[in-house]
Structure 1
Amino acid sequence: MSGPAERPIDAVRAMLTALLGGPDASIEHRRAQAAVFAASQPPPPPGLRITPTALGGVPAETVEVEDGAGPHHVLHLHGGGYVMGDPAASRGFTTALALATRARVVSLDYRLAPAHPFPAAVDDALAAYAGLLDDGVPASRLALAGESAGGGLVVAALLAIRDAGLPRPACAVAMSPWTDLACTGASYETRAGCDPLLTRHVLLEMADQYLAGQDPGAPLASPGEADLAGLPPLLVQVGDDEVLLDDALTLARRAGDAGVRVELEVWPGMIHVWQMFAGALPEADAAIARIAAFLSETRTP
């Protein structure tokens, strides 16, 4: 008698486990395997154009539909624990988002630790946002989006934008955000047995490289603990099977308490940044469709 059919998310879990060798894989191994993963990805879907660019002196790439992107822009901030990652590694998400929204998705190649510790990533995100404004993109047609550390960086960038007195973007999306670099949430323990990608130990190693001795409680380092008043509407997506669950829950709660319009989505059975597997995972396609709807609801036509 045959057993139950394997679900798509089970195949993704198995692939990630084989790639990394387990959630406790070292940062060095993760960097090497991330490069292998990025190189193995298929070419962009037909109808998309990917162009190197720069914003505020920070390198980036623009992902857009070839037959005429709309007037909206998404500034994307990739994940990787502030110590790895680049726009190419996040194309599973950025290409799907460009197709779903017809926006120009500009994925930032911000500086990484340990060569460039905190707050270099925040400084680059702020410079890129200001660069988009200088290029004539209205803030009302601008959104920020990011996954994992990039999700936390989205919130830190929003705080920096607010504190710099720049016009705020229309909205922002934080996927599986890492917003507490001290890693104090209960889900670091309660989800430790089901997260195939991350452990508290690995995240603390990444935080140590990024912070270089600085305070993990600094608002721009751990923005989930910051004063979030005045931020634009925020969509937070997180999988119920990831150790960063409590980071997302705390971020959403504190944003709501500060008067921010926030929508929190906890996806049952989903793992860290499952949105990257668009086309292979139905829940990734559904999550991106939800992001596209949120962007449409909150931006100026």
Structure 2
Amino acid sequence: MPPTRASLRSHALAAATALTLRPVTTVVPLNRTGVRLGRRVAATSLAVLGPPLLGSRIVSVDRSTRRGPSVRGEWVRGPRAKRDDAVILYIHGSGYAICSARTHRGVTTRLSRATGLPIFACDYRLAPSHRFPAAADDVRAAYEWLVSEGHDPARIVIAGDSAGGHLGVDLTLQLLQEGVTPPAALMFFSPLFDPTFALAADRERRRRDPMISAVRVQRLLDLYFGETDRTTERMTFSFEGVGGFPATFLQAGGREMMAADAEELARALAACGGRCDLEIWPGQMHVFQAMPLLVPEAGPAIERAADFVVAELEAAERRGAFRLMEEGA
């Protein structure tokens, strides 16, 4: 189970963030210049607070097309990650506009080490140059590419953070609705579930998020969603009539406004008969798992997520072996 209280270092980091980063986010313009600045700040911050593990192997993949969905990203293997029997498709977050597979190497190398698995970190097209559904189309292309490369869907786990959670759920629902085999399991850190941001905004009115205001995030999401109605299908998800949704594991921080999204996603999956394990880590900020050098809880949280991934893959393997036995009987 998660700890019952946050460490002193986590409290100190949240307080420092509220005094520094949050005020800065209120003055940075949400235009192309502001987005470029945000990308530099995010890249620098994550490189300092969560650098990739030494001894990791990174291999770039670029199968870009001039138009339409493209497969871009990188294969990541953390130290001592030698398994080849399954793969994780990792979908980074940051409002569809800021981060990349490269900025998230701290998370992906640690998750790879903890699970022993290779990770394909998807680099989807970013706003404001590319709007909805460009990111979702690229994530779908990455999944289909992994399958075409010989990876059995029953041996693929989809993981991600923040906006990557919304993209991962969207992909899984698409596959189920089309009768296509979904991945073995899903695992998300601080997932976005409600693109209207009403849930998060309501929570932030009751307790300020140390990183950024709900209004600023809503405007950042506007760069991707534009004028698209966010209550339509593929925006506001409905699980009604959906069976066979993969087992899902969620972690969120107790101090972040998007804990409300994680809680609502867990409720929605439970309501449709799915299994969803939710952990709210007290005192933690948004995607605290990406800051292991300052947040003592980051490492144990990734280990718990890795335990879920490994357990679900083992369960899928047992189910597959049982089906083969039945077919041979």
> Cα distance, 1:38 vs. partner?
4.7
Query: Contact 1:152–1:179 (CA<8 Å) still a contact in 2?
Result: yes
Structure 1 position 37 matched with structure 2 position 34: no
> Would the alpha carbon gap of residues 42 and 196 (structure 1) be closer, same or farther in structure 2, given more than 3 Å must change?
closer
User: What pairs up with 1:22-171 in 2 under 5 angstroms?
Assistant: 22=24, 24=26, 26=28, 27=30, 28=34, 29-38=37-46, 40=48, 44-54=52-62, 57-65=70-78, 69-70=82-83, 71-171=85-185
SS in 2 for 1:47: coil
> Would the alpha carbon gap of residues 38 and 266 (structure 1) be closer, same or farther in structure 2, given more than 3 Å must change?
closer
What is the identity, as a one-letter code, of the residue corresponding to 1:13?
A
Q: Which runs of 5+ in 2 are unaligned?
A: 1-6, 64-68, 318-329
> Cα distance, 1:20 vs. partner?
5.7
Q: What TM-score results when the alignment is normalised by the length of structure 2?
A: 0.82
SS in 1 for 2:304: helix
Q: Which runs of 5+ in 1 are unaligned?
A: 1-5
Identity of aligned residues (%): 32
Structure 1 position 271 matched with structure 2 position 285: yes
> Cα distance, 1:62 vs. partner?
0.9
Query: Contact 1:58–1:124 (CA<8 Å) still a contact in 2?
Result: yes
Query: Contact 1:73–1:143 (CA<8 Å) still a contact in 2?
Result: yes
> Would the alpha carbon gap of residues 25 and 221 (structure 1) be closer, same or farther in structure 2, given more than 3 Å must change?
farther
Number of residues of Structure 1 aligned to a counterpart in Structure 2: 293
SS in 2 for 1:230: coil
Query: Contact 1:118–1:221 (CA<8 Å) still a contact in 2?
Result: no
What is the identity, as a one-letter code, of the residue corresponding to 1:24?
T
Residue-by-residue CA offset, 1:12-44 (whole Å, 9 max, x unaligned): 335645356455353424233123335556763
User: What pairs up with 1:213-224 in 2 under 5 angstroms?
Assistant: 213-223=227-237
> Would the alpha carbon gap of residues 102 and 165 (structure 1) be closer, same or farther in structure 2, given more than 3 Å must change?
same
Residue-by-residue CA offset, 1:83-125 (whole Å, 9 max, x unaligned): 1110111112111101101111111100111211111111111
Higher relative contact order (CA 8 A, sep 6+): 2
Q: What TM-score results when the alignment is normalised by the length of structure 1?
A: 0.89
**What is the distance in 2 between the residues matched to 1:167 and 1:34?**
35
Match of 1:3 in 2: none
User: What pairs up with 1:148-297 in 2 under 5 angstroms?
Assistant: 148-185=162-199, 186-191=202-207, 193=208, 195-223=209-237, 225=238, 227=240, 229-297=243-311
**What is the distance in 1 between the residues matched to 2:309 and 2:170?**
19
> Cα distance, 1:209 vs. partner?
1.3
What is the identity, as a one-letter code, of the residue corresponding to 2:40?
A
> Cα distance, 1:247 vs. partner?
1.0
Moved more, 267-276 or 31-40: 31-40
> Would the alpha carbon gap of residues 39 and 281 (structure 1) be closer, same or farther in structure 2, given more than 3 Å must change?
closer
CA RMSD in angstroms comes to 2.3
Query: Contact 2:49–2:290 (CA<8 Å) still a contact in 1?
Result: no
Query: Contact 2:80–2:113 (CA<8 Å) still a contact in 1?
Result: no
Match of 2:8 in 1: 7
> Would the alpha carbon gap of residues 159 and 74 (structure 1) be closer, same or farther in structure 2, given more than 3 Å must change?
same
What is the identity, as a one-letter code, of the residue corresponding to 1:203?
V
Flag the structure with larger Rg: 2
